[in-house]
Amino acid sequence: GLTAGRYFARHIAAPLGLDCHIGLTDPAVAADAHLATMLESKAEALMNGEDPGTELDMLVALGDPNSLTYRSMIGSMSLDQALDPEVEDPSYGGLGSAQSLARLFAALVGEVDGVRLLTPARLTELTRPHSRGNCRVILLPSAWGLGFMLPDSPVFPASAGLTPRAFGFDGANGTFVFADPDHDLAFAYVQNAGSRVIGRMNDRAHRLVEAAYRAVGL
């Protein structure tokens, strides 16, 4: 009986005290929200008609309205209007701080102030590879557990220090989040100037993940 945004707010964000939202539907919360001004990313420039070049198959396909890549990723999106933060858009319109995203991922692998979102059995299933190979949408090597990226792929690479059971997501705008259940580690990086690279992990995020692992002695 709840929309995705209202369910997330009531059952996940509120118990964990997260500054994360799928639609700022509460006027009081919206009035106090601190929203960054987003600068255009490489992905958004391509969506707006920038020449994709020929270096990466995914970018070429993104410029072809008949391709599976285009139809899966942006075919149903209205790109000529600014995103409305009040709209509940679970696929593209999530809002959150890096600190809260890291706290959310920490609650996936352990208990945070009495809240744990996944059972150990579900976590084991989540971190098991369910799909591995060349993705037919992004046309890149990919590895997936249950809804999360797993190492090793260009956008979620083991070279950053990610251990085999680490899971998370690399966003086209440079956002990078992951949790490592074997080392009780959760990490999130967000930026307001979208990534200038597509098809591999943002270099800055790569260095920060390496630093996070060094900080815990790995």
User: Is the pLDDT assigned to residue 50 strictly greater than 90?
Assistant: no
> Is 67:73 a contact under the CB 8 Å cutoff?
no
Q: What is the pLDDT of residue 15?
A: 96
Higher pLDDT, 30 or 3: 3
Q: What is the pLDDT of residue 188?
A: 97
What is the dihedral sign for C-alpha 129, 131, 135, 138? negative
Domain ranges of the chain: 97-215
- Phi first, then psi: give them for residue 133, nearest 5 degrees: 145, -165
User: Is the pLDDT assigned to residue 22 strictly greater than 70?
Assistant: yes
Confidence class for position 196, pLDDT limits 50, 70, 90: low
Mean of pLDDT values over 157-184: 91
- Render pLDDT for 153-166 as a digit per residue (tens, 0 to 9): 998 999 999 999 99
Closest-CA residue to 169 (of 202, 197, 217, 210): 202
Average pLDDT along the chain: 87
Higher pLDDT, 24 or 119: 119
Confidence class for position 199, pLDDT limits 50, 70, 90: confident
Kind plus residue range of the DSSP H or E element containing 144? strand 141-144
- On the 0-12 / 13-18 / 19+ scale of CB atoms within 10 A, 32 is exposed
